[in-house]
Structure 1
């Protein structure tokens, strides 16, 4: 979202006077005279009634009024500005309709970008900015990813508690529209906990697992098991379910669902989507050790009919997690490569062995080329001597 700098031609005193008169004309309980206590008191009173303009007026006109308030706000010293900024942010979350919500969103974005990048007040503005963006269905206009978020606060990082609060909000506003982004936010949230306080993150950990399982684009799930808050869930049903998605095959999930149907449904997880994901994960695991699989094997392992094998494999190939070739004539699937379902010590060892083999093969090729080159030189010399 773009934001224009705040430039107002009037002096602060003149702006305050004009705003007071404007809101009094709209029927707000405010004096048209400036406060003798200073600009901060004027702002408190103006902000206290500024939402009266939401009841009437064109969005463009309201945007100009809010812009004027912001232009005064950014002049207030940091040590006296927190209550004023918080009061204004709270008012901006009260827009009664979508057009005015977008005006409030723009105003908060303008305030955020005109505050000093080292100001801790930017955190409070951004938190309310996300709330308003949710109301306007424009969250991705203000939040595109964790890296972008961290860069916004590089000069004044919020506290761990503040970031946890913000991550929870971001998870809430993205969970219905972007599961992949929501899952990344939750993983980042769990990463803010230490061994000392991980035990209090139970609810966050459960949300993180459920979000990751529900995301149709998240398949590498074993990193979750290493998160401290997730480790505190060992022995709970949600941890057992995660473990199945990390390393077990489809029959293990089917059995779990039969035993704990109510639990799965209570977490908001869709059984059919779980089955679809577990079939794909099972196929990936089979592909790691079997470069060639028959349709008969797949019907048994994936619990599908033979006429469903080809459509299933085509769907798998669309994910680009596995490269394979269908052999319809012989009812086989030939695997070219597959992404590892888990990536732990065994996979690192396998990668090391593969790189070592490549190194040895390259050395052999290099030696061969050196021999060929030497032979060519010797041949050239001998032909020169003959002539």
Structure 2
């Protein structure tokens, strides 16, 4: 796409070649007060672009958002005409300029420009990774991560033609985890962290110590994360066995409320040093304990709930209502009988026993479906026989 500039307004599209575009950009940026000459560089178009990118932020101070976006898109249109092996440093310099755009509105503009640049670069080019990394940084600044990240699978598809080196991918996943957490997308953040920990092998799991701790803390602190058992299977998390952080995770995975209280009483300073809130931990452990009780008890009295969850009599009903709102447990509360009748619950852990239960359930369904199928065949055969005999 070719761009022409008229002084001092923003550039407009025309049929100028890339060298002529560069001259027009020089004139336009100089008219905005940028320290750049109007003459083209004797070193060629790449040096022209280097100088243009160096002062392109002059447009941030002048013109409308649409004009600024037009200017920046014009630079993108020139960058993509340069062979990628010669444009990498230029693209990186341009990205660095864009992430420094001040304010929310300009941030939205630069987000769109970076997305255009990302989409314009050949899929097999390693520079796409660096553009995307800057894209996520801008998305964090304007709280628009949803615009650039949908899920881990799509992320991997975007880089399928040229997968980044492992260290680069880890760096990107760490950034995405931070951005998703700050945007209150805890579920996606957890998936990203699990993906990050999955990039470590048994040989280098010890290097993932900080990532593993960050993963555990994010999962424990998130009020909507209750299935914690999969974390124990991750190699970097297993490397922490024997440490307090792993012991605390194990409590949340499989123990009941008294076990957490005992841990807290012995390690108060440690829990607070992690930045965890004790009251929130208590609330979460009560929910997890209730889920565990519901797995083996289809009927529970208020007195049992009060005793097991260390609640006062007046706290029982509000707690049950809170549990039902989470939809972790499907149940019916009978206030007159002071009982809870459980129909189903999410399992805290999903191990061999749960797989066997699921196998038995599916086998039962298969048997019932076969019986229904055979019955329908018998009914159909009987109807056909009656019709034939009537003829």
Pairwise same-fold verdict (TM > 0.5): yes
3-state secondary structure, aligned to 1:293: strand
- Given the alignment of the two structures, is residue 332 of structure 1 paired with residue 339 of structure 2, yes or no? yes
State which drifts further: 164-173 or 55-64: 55-64
| Aligned positions of 1:114-193 closer than 5 A | 114-178=120-184, 179-193=186-200
**2:6 aligned partner:** none
CA deviation vs aligned residue, 1:145-169 (integer Å, no higher than 9, x gap): 2123222222222221111000111
Mapped contact 1:183–1:215 kept (Cα < 8 A): no
- Given the alignment of the two structures, is residue 197 of structure 1 paired with residue 237 of structure 2, yes or no? no
3-state secondary structure, aligned to 1:175: helix
Closer/same/farther in 2, CA of residues 348 and 304 from structure 1, 3 Å limit = same
Q: How many residues align?
A: 379
Please report how far the alpha carbon of residue 223 of structure 1 lies from its aligned counterpart in structure 2 after TM superposition: 0.5
| Aligned positions of 1:267-286 closer than 5 A | 267-286=274-293
**2:269 aligned partner:** 262
Mapped contact 1:180–1:212 kept (Cα < 8 A): no
Please point out which of 322, 341, 349 is paired with 1:342.
349
- Given the alignment of the two structures, is residue 303 of structure 1 paired with residue 310 of structure 2, yes or no? yes
- Given the alignment of the two structures, is residue 46 of structure 1 paired with residue 43 of structure 2, yes or no? no
CA deviation vs aligned residue, 1:309-349 (integer Å, no higher than 9, x gap): 22212221222221111111111101111111100111112
Closer/same/farther in 2, CA of residues 94 and 360 from structure 1, 3 Å limit = closer
Please report how far the alpha carbon of residue 379 of structure 1 lies from its aligned counterpart in structure 2 after TM superposition: 11
Please report how far the alpha carbon of residue 92 of structure 1 lies from its aligned counterpart in structure 2 after TM superposition: 0.6
**1:321 aligned partner:** 328
- Given the alignment of the two structures, is residue 13 of structure 1 paired with residue 16 of structure 2, yes or no? no
Distance across 1 between alignment mates of 2:339 and 2:333: 6
**2:9 aligned partner:** none
Please point out which of 63, 68, 90 is paired with 1:62.
68
**1:3 aligned partner:** none
| Aligned positions of 1:224-235 closer than 5 A | 224-235=231-242
Closer/same/farther in 2, CA of residues 141 and 376 from structure 1, 3 Å limit = closer
State which drifts further: 326-335 or 314-323: 314-323
Please report how far the alpha carbon of residue 52 of structure 1 lies from its aligned counterpart in structure 2 after TM superposition: 2.5
State which drifts further: 37-46 or 147-156: 147-156
Please report how far the alpha carbon of residue 228 of structure 1 lies from its aligned counterpart in structure 2 after TM superposition: 0.5
3-state secondary structure, aligned to 2:182: coil
State which drifts further: 282-291 or 103-112: 103-112
Distance across 1 between alignment mates of 2:386 and 2:65: 87
Distance across 2 between alignment mates of 1:106 and 1:216: 33
TM-score after normalising by structure 2 = 0.90
Structure 2: stretches of 5+ with no match in the other structure: 1-11
CA deviation vs aligned residue, 1:96-154 (integer Å, no higher than 9, x gap): 22222222112111111111222221111110011111111212221222123222222
**2:227 aligned partner:** 220
**1:101 aligned partner:** 107
- Given the alignment of the two structures, is residue 91 of structure 1 paired with residue 125 of structure 2, yes or no? no
